[in-house]
Structure 1
Amino acid sequence: MKKILMIATGGTIASAKGKEGLTPSVAASTLLDYVSEVKSYCSIETFQILNIDSTNMKPEYWVKIAEYIIKNYYNYDGFVITHGTDTMAYTSAALSYMLQNLNKPVVITGAQKPISEKDTDGVKNLIDAIRFSCEDVGGVFVVFDGKVILGTRATKLRTRSYNAFESINYPYIAFIKDGDVVYNKGDVIKKSEKPNFNTSISSKVFLLKLIPGIEPDILDFIKDRYEGLIIESYGSGGIPFEDDKNLLPKIKELVDKGIAVVVTTQVILEGSDLSLYEVGQKALKTPVIPAFDMTREAAVVKLMWALGQSKELNKVKEIFLTPVKDDFIY
């Protein structure tokens, strides 16, 4: 019988109505009471590491979660993390970079409705997550609405529907129905023999979404306060370069100061290719770092993690452009 550790962080799944709306208040042990049938195929223990709305998630908490898993890594066969849906994709990406080459599953799940409500999706999601945590696979995964998504490829696309998460630019790993796991893509989750743990991270990363007419001077504010910048550009990727809206000189100032600049796209599917258009090729000469088909969440967190390893731009670029668990494909 597999031994599983469930780590609770709060979120909608653990929420109840308060004076100012839903607020996390249900303990980890109580969550487990709703899915007592899982005890027939695994031994499961709980730990309440946080009890927050995931809107309040921050990098320091990612480190706290990761370090608790590292501390207990050899005591359990798998891990389940209950989490709010709003920043779940950021946390799954963060753990994917901090906990690499795993030989056991770390599974993140949550719910769109509190587990105490009659029409909750929390019971099914938690049962599915615990079921998948008993699989002989390694890696970080999001399990939601019967789907298993690679930790670096999850994005929340819907605010209310039960099928809140999608796997972006990558196949689903597996599907879970009535307790059966049917694999769709298994080669990426082969077990590794030597886990690699590294929780160093820099939170000084800014995400800038371009809009038509954006003023270049906004980059002066970023230059004095951040170590890294993610620019969400348009379409296949590119930076405005005409007239008084030319962002390229300001971006070069950032790079010259040692600030890492990554360019991704606002378009969710199919990724970016800065080599395709003039607006992209001019940006590459600045030089910026392309994010290819990474999710927004993975790009942000990976830059944070890369800056936690080094402040030297060439090294940061090397780390960022080294694939981790298929987080991007050229």
Structure 2
Amino acid sequence: MKKVLMLGTGGTIASGKSDSGLVPILTSHELVAQVPEISSLCDVDCVQLFSIDSTNITPSHWLQVASAIRENYDRYDGFVIAHGTDTMAYTAAALSYLIQFSPKPIILTGAQKPILFENTDSKTNLADAFRVAVSDLRGVMIVFNGRVILGTRARKTRTTSFQAFSSINYPLLAVVQNGFLMEYIRPMCHEKPTFYDTLNPRVGLMKMIPGADCGLLSYLIAHNDAVIIESYGVGGLPSYQGSGFFDVIRNAIGNGKTIVMTTQVQNEGSNLAVYDVGFHLKNHLQLLEAYDMTTESALAKLMWILGMSTDSKQIRKLFCTPIAHDLLHLKEGPQ
């Protein structure tokens, strides 16, 4: 029988009622005990890394999870991480860069209702997660409401419904129905993983709104080593006289800062070459473009890259290199 390590981090799945709302109270041991069928799937060991609402997750927690998997990698056939849903997609993306080419499954799951509540989705999600953890699938994945989603492609798209996560610009890897795993896509097999242990959290994010002041972008640039701009549609920035965005970005890149353009639109990605408001950004200012990457993956990837290098050419090369299928519609080569 295969061995799986269960890592507890808190989240809704482990929460109970308090006078001020839900708070995590259950350990990973207690979660597994609530789902007896798991013992028929595999041998399980449990470790409680921390117990927090996932709103409080930081990059240091991602490093802690990755470190726990690295320390125990050779002892187990798979890993299940019980995690809050609100930042699960960010954690899945971060782990996809911190643990690359894993020949073993690394599964994140959670719930929209605590495991102690009636009509909870927790027990099904946990059981499904362990089914995938003992399968031949590999790499970082989210298993939720019967869907198996690649870690770099997941996004929380519903706040309360059980179908909380969607796969963005990439097919589902598999589904779990009535206890049976049906695989659609099996990632390429690798002999051993590559682990990383450094992140640079100095990455900011600005969402464009009509009439936005370029001073906000200047502030974010001053306090970060990289900034992601979520623009409209296929991408672009205001170019009317006095808007100031082009000058701010030109100065930032000249001072060694990294600027990435992505889109607020969930599906199909960016293409700065389409409109004049994007063409000059791409061709004259040489900022980076996220294309069909999720914002969660773009952010985590930048933190991973900047943790290793401050060289602009190396940053561009790594950002434009697809990792764990995070980037498909690449319209430029590494420069």
Query: Structure 2 length as normaliser, TM-score?
Result: 0.96
Could you say which residue in structure 2 is the equivalent of 1:300? 299
The whole-number CA distance in structure 1 between the counterparts of 2:319 and 2:26 is: 38
TM-fit CA distance, 1:217: 1.6
* Aligned ranges 1:272-283 → 2 under 5 Å: 272-283=270-281
| Residue pair 1:4, 1:79 contacting (<8 A) in 2 also | yes
| Residue pair 2:237, 2:278 contacting (<8 A) in 1 also | yes
Could you say which residue in structure 1 is the equivalent of 2:266? 268
SS at match of 1:206: strand
Give the paired residue count: 328
TM-fit CA distance, 1:157: 0.5
The whole-number CA distance in structure 1 between the counterparts of 2:56 and 2:150 is: 23
Q: Say whether 1:317 aligns with 2:278.
A: no
| Residue pair 2:41, 2:130 contacting (<8 A) in 1 also | no
Could you say which residue in structure 2 is the equivalent of 1:289? 288
The whole-number CA distance in structure 2 between the counterparts of 1:173 and 1:40 is: 24
The whole-number CA distance in structure 2 between the counterparts of 1:197 and 1:190 is: 17
Q: Say whether 1:191 aligns with 2:186.
A: no
Letter matched to residue 234 of structure 1: Y
Could you say which residue in structure 1 is the equivalent of 2:5? 5
After TM superposition, the runs of 4+ consecutive aligned structure 1 residues lying more than 2 A away are none
| Residue pair 1:104, 1:191 contacting (<8 A) in 2 also | no
Letter matched to residue 227 of structure 1: D
TM-fit CA distance, 1:253: 1.0
Unaligned runs of 5+ in 1: none
Q: Provide the alpha-carbon RMSD of the alignment.
A: 0.9
Unaligned runs of 5+ in 2: 330-335
TM-fit CA distance, 1:154: 0.2
| Residue pair 1:13, 1:82 contacting (<8 A) in 2 also | yes
TM-fit CA distance, 1:210: 0.4
* Aligned ranges 1:167-186 → 2 under 5 Å: 167-186=167-186
**Once the two structures are aligned, what percentage of the paired residues are identical?**
45
* Aligned ranges 1:68-79 → 2 under 5 Å: 68-79=68-79
Could you say which residue in structure 2 is the equivalent of 1:211? 209
Bigger Cα displacement from structure 2, 213-222 vs 259-268: 213-222
SS at match of 2:17: strand
Q: Say whether 1:258 aligns with 2:256.
A: yes
Could you say which residue in structure 1 is the equivalent of 2:332? none
| Residue pair 2:152, 2:297 contacting (<8 A) in 1 also | yes
Could you say which residue in structure 1 is the equivalent of 2:158? 158
| CA deviations over 1:54-73 (Å, ceiling 9, x no partner) | 00000000000001100000
Letter matched to residue 271 of structure 1: G
The whole-number CA distance in structure 2 between the counterparts of 1:89 and 1:10 is: 15
Bigger Cα displacement from structure 2, 67-76 vs 244-253: 244-253
